[in-house]
Structure 1
Amino acid sequence: MSEDASSYPPIEPTTFDLIVVGTGVPESVISAAASATGKTVLHLDPNPFYGSHFASLPLHQLSSFLISHSTPPPSSASTGHDYTPVALTRRSLYSDIEISSYSPEIIGEEHSRKFSIDLCGPRVLFCADKSIDLMLRSGCSQYVEFKSIDASFVYEENDKKLMSVPDSRAAIFKDKSLGLTEKNQLMRFFKLVQQHLAGSDDGGGVTSKISAEDLESPFVEFLKKMRLPPKIKSIILYAIAMADYDQENMEVCEQVLKTKDGIDRLALYNASVGRFSNALGALIYPIYGQGELPQGFCRRAAVKGCIHVLRMPVIALLMDKCTGHYKGVRLSSGQDLFSQQLVLDPSYIVSLPFASSPPEPLKESLKVSDTRDVKWKLARGICITGSSLRPDTSNLLVVYPPRSLYPEQVTPIRALQISSDLAVCPSGMFVLYFSALCKDGNEGKRLLHAAMDALLTLPESGRPESGTAVQNEVAAEVKPTILWKALYIQELTVDQFESISTTPIPDGDLSYNNLLDATLKLFQKMYPHEEVFPETASPENPEDDDNEFSLES
């Protein structure tokens, strides 16, 4: 098909149960779930690729996607039949974009197509989390393959080096960075958590349950009560429970992690270790990148009859003149399509075309019903290197706890290194994703630069006269050299309208759990009497069990 939407043949039929705009993970899950219940679904995307803000793209396409601030032309305000068109525009979710190439001879135009870079990185899946269960139940798992993340590390502020995260008793026993006392303390704590979750006794007939009072207390206070040393507390809070803010400074901590939630996160981590026999730890990553997930759900939707059309912008909503209720959409091709329900990706903005105030029914229908906290943004960074952070480990996660880089660092920074064996870059290269919550672009850039400077270095030509300073500083461990990098700030705010469903924006979490919770809540609001992916065998997928989950060793 032509890339000019006006040259597309008309879409038939013209009326659907559901129209979905955008092919990110939330939109694709809703599309697949609605199709599985027998709904007629039309799935549109203005981009020439699947994934929207969850896509995995070659370098040149990633750069143009980030820096593009163009918006589709607004629709005409002329009315037709019994509806009023209301213009849709697309806001940029990205700002403060910096893209630098230090080795164009290595990463030039011809090599840029050999990369598959995630827009929403760093992101992984826990082997026992909701996204895995949803993929198994939906049948999407047969379209996506995964590999294990080999290891997790914490950046240690005193020694300025990476310390491994002991995620099991065997790992604790083998860990040479922990002393005997620390190992015993950690083993006792994990045993207490396991006994609490199992409701078992301590061997003396006394049930080892954490008290209700402790469960409601801040997790950091409970860890102090357990007399865990600072290093162990940091590992548990930020590398296993994945807390988002400095839990030890209540003046800056925006979200205190309660003990009961911390225990639940430890339980997820513990259940993920060993769920799949050929996964080394708790975490896995899709081969070819995170963009494979929305494509997998889109393929599942297509099997159930969903129609997908790429390169097709939606330029207006069609709203009933009398009631103000949603009726359909106008495409950039000029065609009007109708549906009972509409789902928009989070970048769309409604532009009321009235010089004065709009009719009351329309004003009420398009009223913003909920705007999430705008105080925080998300700083994201991507680096390409020619060597690994650890010579013996290709795919790994690094967490920088609050204050580990500088005193004013109030949020943790997460970094994920992915290698060519996951088919995201040429052989011998590595892609690192960084993310951190921040208040503004300046703070976000400072966080990213500090995290990158701690573990990476620029080529000699990319820095002022440095001589052999970098080699002298790291002595035994030479830092990987950055060949290419991108930094950008992503918005976290999404408007929710009374009559139009808007999907959640990519968040700063490592997993998809919170995104999926919001997505499934939206689906159930739209279709309160429908089950999400009914657990029934189908001809193309006769058995729904863990054996269908493809995990390469």
Structure 2
Amino acid sequence: MEDLPPYPPIDPTTFDLIVIGTGLPESIIAAATSTASKSVLHLDPNPFYGSHFSSLPLADLQAFLSSHPTSPSSGYHHDFSVFDFATRPLYSSLDISSFSPDLLHQHSRKFNLDVAGPRVFFCADKSIDLILKSGANQYMEFKSIDATFVGDDKGNLWSVPDSRAAIFKDKSLGLLEKNQLMRFFKLVQGHLAGEQGIQIFEEDLQSPFVDFLNKMGLPPKIKSFILYAIAMADYDQEDIGVCRDLLTTKDGIDQLALYNASIGRFPNALGALLYPVYGQGELSQAFCRRAAVKGCLYVLRMSVTALLVDKDTGCYKGVRLASGQDIFSQKLILDPSFMVPLPAGSSLPHPLQDKLPVFSLRDDRGKVARGICITKTSLKPNISNFLVVYPPRSLFPEQVTSIRLLQIGSNLSVCPPDMFVLYISALCKDDDQGKKLLHAVMNTLLTVPVSINSESNAAVQSETAESGCAVLDETAESSFRGRSDPGEGKPTLLWSASYIQELTLGQVDFICSTPMPDGKLNYNDLIDVTCKLFREMYPEEEFFPETSSENSEGDGDVALET
């Protein structure tokens, strides 16, 4: 232990809960548990908050995505069985290319890049309600997303008519389309309000949403807007063979209700969507600050090396830190990257069998492809912050999932002035499919310079990227090179990163594992999983009891007051 850094000892040494990792689920649970007057020790081996939900400077992002930290040997103890921790790789095919290295190096620390982008908040969704209820809004500021568009393979971005006023102003819709959409929205709003004589029958509510839209006689363009830009469906709803998540009409109507309730909830939010100033990593930090106010103890740069198990009973007792100190608790929460590798032929004590995340990466829900691009000009003149949705089949015939792109400008403090950050994501079954989806969007919207200065990390780079250049499939690369004329009006790419992230589920017991960021646009599903984890751990406690708190208002920012 002489080679380890001189960590100060932690006092006390026994807690109700130890949390490893400061990702969003872990941070929410730490805040909720501290609010329930329980003692919590929150550790993170990283020097920053947020883990897989963090917002990082340029250089730190690459280091985080390509790192595979190892823990030093943990030694033994006469009272405990000691099982060493290991970390599993959750990111693959990392490719980073810089086309203006001097400029980007000069401003590297001015970027706050989301690891799990693109992601937004609906003004009326569960995450905003939780932020308000917990008091975390005292530590965050928001601005609204200006618009939502639907894209096509020709580079067109069509405005989404998401309200009666927007339908009336939309110049891309014909009179018949406007009337059809108006009647549909009127039916949905009347059903939700319980108006006399206006309702959607139960048999329709249980049917596929796309069938209901067909029954309403809506044309393909309007159906696409509703299914993928408002209801936010992930998969091609008209192809049962590839659709892994078929929306029912009830689910679709619920999504429309959320969208509708989000418009106008806050007086200084232009539309339905919000984004936090300084990036999505602020959300984890806000809950960590809330937990600290309630007595949670925080230690960053603290690695955890081993699990401590009682030799006689086989029950979990605590963890061993990199400092060599043993810390004890009744319950433990692990970041999803932590696993317990078992030597061949060995097994865990009976009480821990099937209750630990052992070292085998289960492909629980597939993968999500994520891309980040930096440009000097906006995709849309005079608009900084907006969402673009590419419905299935809109870019190429084999595209079976929606692709989402979020552009954020410097007024949200995520990049230097006169620059823009683009986040792209799509669900995929494997790395090759994911990269094809990302490249299709980049090829459609951006000009990529011919001279490529690659910063790809060889340890995690795709096997197909042996040349050391930016990883594009042959079709995408030739298409990029063929469309590099600045006269076409496309923004020129300054820097890009693409990577594939595993989707893993959490698990619950006295040792819990939290989920990775999912492929959704908002946090609702992750909030549900996190709430379930807490209630399984502490069924007698309320998940953030109602309290009165002072809400802060930022100048020009959304004030989270209902």
TM-score by length of 2: 0.90
Equivalence for 2:184:
189
- Report the CA distance shift for 1:497/1:512 in structure 2 as closer, same or farther (over 3 A): closer
CA contact (8 A) 1:402 1:410 kept: yes
Equivalence for 1:75:
74
1:298 and 1:341 map into 2 onto residues whose CA distance is 18
1:275 and 1:199 map into 2 onto residues whose CA distance is 21
Equivalence for 2:268:
278
CA contact (8 A) 2:52 2:115 kept: yes
- How far did 1:332 drift? 0.7
Equivalence for 1:22:
21
The equivalent position to 1:89 in structure 2, one of 86, 89, 113, is 86
CA contact (8 A) 1:129 1:272 kept: yes
The equivalent position to 1:225 in structure 2, one of 215, 220, 232, is 215
Equivalence for 2:115:
119
Q: Are 1:484 and 2:495 matched, yes or no?
A: yes
- How far did 1:548 drift? 12
CA contact (8 A) 1:416 1:432 kept: yes
Equivalence for 1:173:
168
2:523 and 2:4 map into 1 onto residues whose CA distance is 33
Q: Are 1:551 and 2:558 matched, yes or no?
A: yes
CA contact (8 A) 1:147 1:552 kept: no
1:57 and 1:86 map into 2 onto residues whose CA distance is 32
- Report the CA distance shift for 1:92/1:514 in structure 2 as closer, same or farther (over 3 A): same
- Report the CA distance shift for 1:241/1:350 in structure 2 as closer, same or farther (over 3 A): same
Q: CA-to-partner distance for each residue in 1:234-257, whole Å, 9 max, x for gaps?
A: 010001000010001111111111
- How far did 1:466 drift? 8.7
- Report the CA distance shift for 1:371/1:219 in structure 2 as closer, same or farther (over 3 A): farther
The equivalent position to 2:146 in structure 1, one of 143, 150, 165, is 150
1:352 and 1:259 map into 2 onto residues whose CA distance is 47
- Report the CA distance shift for 1:21/1:152 in structure 2 as closer, same or farther (over 3 A): same
Equivalence for 1:422:
412
Q: CA-to-partner distance for each residue in 1:31-62, whole Å, 9 max, x for gaps?
A: 00111110111100000000000000000000
Task: Give the unaligned 5+ runs of structure 2.
Answer: 453-476
Superposed counterparts of 1:373-388, under 5 Å = 374=364, 376-388=366-378
The equivalent position to 2:131 in structure 1, one of 115, 129, 135, is 135
Superposed counterparts of 1:295-444, under 5 Å = 295-352=285-342, 355-363=345-353, 365-366=355-356, 374=364, 376-444=366-434
Secondary structure, in 3 states, of the residue corresponding to 2:65? helix
Q: CA-to-partner distance for each residue in 1:404-425, whole Å, 9 max, x for gaps?
A: 0100000010000000000000
2:408 and 2:149 map into 1 onto residues whose CA distance is 14
CA contact (8 A) 2:510 2:537 kept: no
Equivalence for 1:288:
278
- How far did 1:317 drift? 1.1
TM-score by length of 1: 0.92
- How far did 1:545 drift? 10
Q: CA-to-partner distance for each residue in 1:89-148, whole Å, 9 max, x for gaps?
A: 11111000000001112212x311110100000000000001111111111001000001
Task: Give the unaligned 5+ runs of structure 1.
Answer: 202-206
- How far did 1:26 drift? 0.6
Q: CA-to-partner distance for each residue in 1:342-384, whole Å, 9 max, x for gaps?
A: 111111111235753444344355377x997546211000000
Aligned residues: 534
Letter in 2 for 1:112: S
2:438 and 2:78 map into 1 onto residues whose CA distance is 51
Secondary structure, in 3 states, of the residue corresponding to 1:461? coil
Letter in 1 for 2:85: L
Letter in 2 for 1:71: T
Superposed counterparts of 1:256-271, under 5 Å = 256-271=246-261
Letter in 1 for 2:123: C
Letter in 2 for 1:455: L
